[in-house]
């Protein structure tokens, strides 16, 4: 049953404007003929939540003296799992099928075509599940387009390439996850084009909070705050921000309830509690929770690793002679620290990963650094030097080649920057060299695995002081999708060894996954501890181990 609801027109309505209940009822009635398309709500009527109905009534029911809508821009900043994408899809369909605009052009836009398709796919399924719309509309799946022949209108999903958007006659534009927009060009093209060609266009922007405070999303976020506070007046701009304050405690359930207007209807409190419990010891998850579930604009960077857990992995390393391992090479600047790290995957799923780092610095660098004990680390054998004021890469190359006499190095991942020539030389010595990208897509999976191994005390490093210093320095950066990577510029100090460790760990993880999968099915009973392969008992690792390998 829908909630009892009483509407009060927005305080942003101009004194000369009026609220037309007939227009507002018409929009609400259209949307509530639609059905939900996913999960437990699939097939059920689209009963608007109070916050959704308020927005619909405000933007479609408040009219200027000339009879056209007052609001042409609606900026909705709200947390994930609140129903914002479903509302955007319903509004797109209203603009296409019920707004009586001849030749209406409705565009769904996001930072990439996949994201733009999210709202489109919801709208497409709403059409197919509605008896009337499914008869009238034509869905062209391959073109991501819905055509409405009675008014010669269409709704289509677009990617964000600006050069293809000039000349569009926009009646409605739905921007999904606006925080992903890298610049304002696309927004300007779509919005300005609409204002020039239509009497009552609507740009409907939905987003969670972001982290880039130079972005167009943050600019509109600030605009919305200014309009709400009365610092700016823009009669056509409608702000709707649901966010926690900077000083609010992100762990407080009362804050969660206040920020999410769909609280208890889509996501349970238990989901939030589990997320927060994990986030208490994982800074990357904390950033995600605050940004995506509390709509707080956060810094992209945060100090990362739980060093108390890291310290517990400092026992002396065993003899690793002959063991399979993977290398990570980060040469950085020839005037600074170079790092080569070997990661040894476990032979048994219960065992730990071992990390063996090597570092080099030019001899002149020892005297330049006073606050960091480079000279002490050199005397202790933890930091090697090459003569002069730059690192001699041929010296590093020879030492890496020497390591193959002791360790079974299967593959070396390297950062292209400054390492192309050495990579070619090492290939000549029989190394398998893999160019490893430094972006989110490549770095995030092994970085998250590194955090997990440290948290679970499964990354043994022997207490190497240089690597420990670098681990403590690391600040991570997060993108809009929740991917992470180390940020060298924002980190407190050098982190080359951490980057090398992440790259090497990627190879070790890939090898370890292959080793434990193959063509067989492996099952671990977490109650008895029995490990079976294809139905046969392999071993017992103890009850309640909770270790899973497939």
Residues 154 and 225 in one domain: yes
Q: Are residues 499 and 540 in the same domain?
A: no
Q: What pTM was estimated for this model as a whole? A: 0.62
Q: Is residue 446 part of a domain?
A: yes
Q: Read off the CATH number of the domain in which 232 is found.
A: 3.40.50.300
DSSP tag of 35: B
Residues 418 and 546 in one domain: no
Instruction: Specify whether the CB–CB gap between 109 and 156 falls below 8 A.
Output: no
Do 547 and 472 lie in a common domain? no
Looking up tokens 């048994």 gives 348
SS3 286: helix
Class of residue 270 by CB neighbours under 10 A (exposed 0-12, middle 13-18, buried 19+): exposed
Domain end position, chosen among 242, 274, 296: 242
Q: What is the pLDDT of residue 541?
A: 53
| Domain end marker among 194, 219, 242 | 242
pLDDT of res. 15: 94
Based on the fold, state whether residues 522 and 491 are members of the same structural domain. no
Residue 515's pLDDT is 56
Residue 58 token pair: 């405000």
Does residue 516 contact residue 503 with C-beta atoms inside 8 Å?
Answer: no
Structure tokens of 315?
């026992």
In a domain, 178, yes or no: yes
Q: What is the CATH number of the domain that holds 321?
A: 3.30.420.240
Look up residue 228 and give its two tokens: 């709400």
Q: Quick count: other Cβ atoms within 10 Å of Cβ 81?
A: 16
Cα 407 from chain centre: 37
196 and 339 part of one domain: no
Residue 344 lies in a domain: yes
Q: Rounded distance, CA 503 to CA 109, Å?
A: 35
Distance CA 206, CA 203 (A): 10
Q: Is residue 289 part of a domain?
A: no
On whether the CB atoms of residues 298 and 209 are closer than 8 A, the answer is yes
Cβ atoms of residues 148 and 97 within 8 Å: yes
Asked whether residue 51 falls in the same domain as residue 62, the answer is yes
Domain that holds residue 117: 18-242
For residue 434, tell me if it sits in a domain.
yes
The token pair that represents 405 in the structure block: 């006499």
Tokens of 428: 């000549």
Tokens read off for 223? 């605009």
Assigned token pair, 130: 């509605």
DSSP state of 69: B
| 480 in the same domain as 550 | no
* CB neighbours of residue 329 within 10 Å: 28
**What would the DSSP string read from start to end of 477-533?**
EE-TTS-EEE-TTTSSS--HHHHHHHHHHHHHHHHHHHHHHTTS-EEE-TTT-EEEE
Q: Into how many domains does the chain fold?
A: 3
pLDDT at position 410: 93
In a domain, 163, yes or no: yes
pLDDT tens, N- to C-terminus, the chain (550 residues): 455 789 999 999 999 999 999 999 999 999 999 999 988 888 899 999 999 999 999 999 999 999 999 999 999 999 988 899 999 999 999 999 999 999 999 999 887 777 778 899 999 999 999 999 999 999 998 899 999 999 999 999 987 664 556 668 889 999 988 887 766 778 888 887 556 678 899 999 999 998 777 688 888 998 998 899 888 889 999 999 999 887 788 899 999 999 999 988 888 888 899 989 988 877 778 888 888 899 988 765 566 888 878 888 888 999 999 999 999 999 866 567 899 999 999 988 778 999 999 999 888 767 666 567 888 888 899 999 887 777 788 888 999 999 999 999 999 999 877 778 888 999 999 999 999 988 898 999 999 999 999 988 999 999 999 998 899 888 888 887 788 899 888 776 888 999 999 999 999 988 755 554 444 445 554 444 555 544 444 455 554 433 333 3
458 and 533 share a domain?
Answer: no
Query: Of 199, 221, 242, which residue is a domain's last?
Result: 242
Tokens of residue 197, six digits? 């060609």
Cα distances (angstroms) measured from residue 311 to each of 314, 352, 462, 499 = 6, 15, 10, 19
> Are 101 and 196 contained in the same domain?
yes
In a domain, 255, yes or no: no
pLDDT at 550: 34
Instruction: Identify whether the C-beta of residue 91 lies closer than 8 Å to the C-beta of residue 174.
Output: yes
Please give the pLDDT value at position 450.
93
Mark whether 511 and 522 lie in a shared domain.
no
Does residue 431 form part of some domain?
A: yes
Q: Are residues 511 and 538 in the same domain?
A: no
Q: Identify the pLDDT of residue 548.
A: 36
Closest CA to 137 of 94, 176, 168: 94
């Amino acid at each position: 049953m829908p909630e009892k609801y009483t509407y009060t027109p927005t305080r942003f309505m101009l004194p000369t404007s009026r609220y037309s209940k007939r227009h507002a009822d018409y929009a609400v009635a259209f949307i509530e003929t639609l059905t939900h398309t996913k999960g437990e709500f699939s097939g059920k009527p689209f009963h608007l939540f109070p916050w959704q109905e308020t927005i619909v009534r405000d933007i479609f029911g408040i009219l200027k003296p000339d009879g056209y809508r007052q609001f042409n821009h609606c900026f909705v900043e709200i947390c994930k799992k609140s129903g914002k994408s479903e509302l955007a899809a319903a509004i797109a369909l209203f603009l296409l099928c019920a707004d009586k605009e001849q030749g209406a052009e409705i565009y769904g836009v996001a930072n990439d075509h996949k994201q733009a398709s999210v709202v489109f796919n919801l709208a497409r399924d709403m059409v197919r599940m509605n008896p009337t719309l499914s008869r009238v509309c034509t869905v062209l799946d391959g073109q991501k387009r819905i055509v409405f022949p009675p008014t010669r209108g269409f709704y289509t999903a677009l990617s964000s390439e600006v050069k293809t958007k000039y000349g569009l006659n926009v009646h409605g534009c739905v921007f999904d996850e606006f925080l992903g927009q890298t610049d304002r060009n696309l927004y300007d093209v779509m919005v300005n084009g609409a204002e020039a060609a239509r009497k009552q266009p609507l740009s409907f922007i939905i987003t969670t909070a972001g982290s880039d405070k130079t972005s167009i999303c943050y600019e509109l976020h600030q605009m919305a705050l200014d309009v709400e506070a009365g610092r700016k007046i823009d009669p056509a701009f409608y702000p709707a921000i649901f966010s926690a304050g900077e000083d609010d405690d992100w762990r407080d359930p009362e804050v969660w309830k206040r920020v999410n207007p769909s609280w208890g209807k889509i996501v349970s409190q238990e989901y939030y509690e589990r997320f927060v419990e994990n986030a208490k010891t994982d800074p990357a998850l904390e950033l995600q929770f605050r940004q995506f579930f509390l709509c707080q604009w956060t810094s992209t960077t945060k100090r990362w690793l739980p060093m108390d857990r890291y310290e517990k992995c400092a026992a002396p390393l065993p003899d690793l002679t002959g063991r399979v391992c993977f290398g990570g090479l980060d040469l950085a600047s020839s005037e600074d620290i170079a790092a080569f790290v070997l990661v040894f995957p476990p032979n048994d799923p219960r065992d730990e990963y071992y990390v063996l780092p090597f570092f080099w610095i030019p001899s002149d660098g020892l005297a330049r650094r006073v606050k960091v004990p480079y000279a002490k680390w050199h005397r202790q054998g933890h930091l090697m030097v090459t003569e002069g004021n730059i690192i001699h890469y041929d010296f590093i190359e020879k030492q890496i080649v020497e390591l193959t006499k002791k360790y079974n190095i299967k593959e070396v991942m390297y950062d292209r920057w400054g390492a192309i020539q050495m990579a070619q030389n090492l290939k000549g010595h029989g190394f398998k060299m893999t160019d490893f990208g430094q972006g989110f897509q490549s770095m995030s999976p092994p970085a998250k695995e590194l955090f997990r191994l440290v948290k679970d005390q499964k990354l043994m490093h022997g207490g190497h002081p240089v690597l420990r210093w670098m681990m403590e320095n690391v600040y991570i950066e997060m993108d809009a999708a929740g991917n992470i990577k180390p940020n060298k510029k924002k980190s407190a100090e050098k982190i080359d060894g951490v980057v090398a460790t992440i790259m090497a760990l990627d190879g070790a993880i890939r090898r370890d996954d292959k080793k434990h999968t193959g063509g067989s099915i492996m099952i671990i009973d977490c109650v008895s501890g029995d490990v079976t392969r294809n139905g046969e008992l392999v071993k017992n690792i103890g009850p309640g181990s909770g270790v899973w390998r497939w």
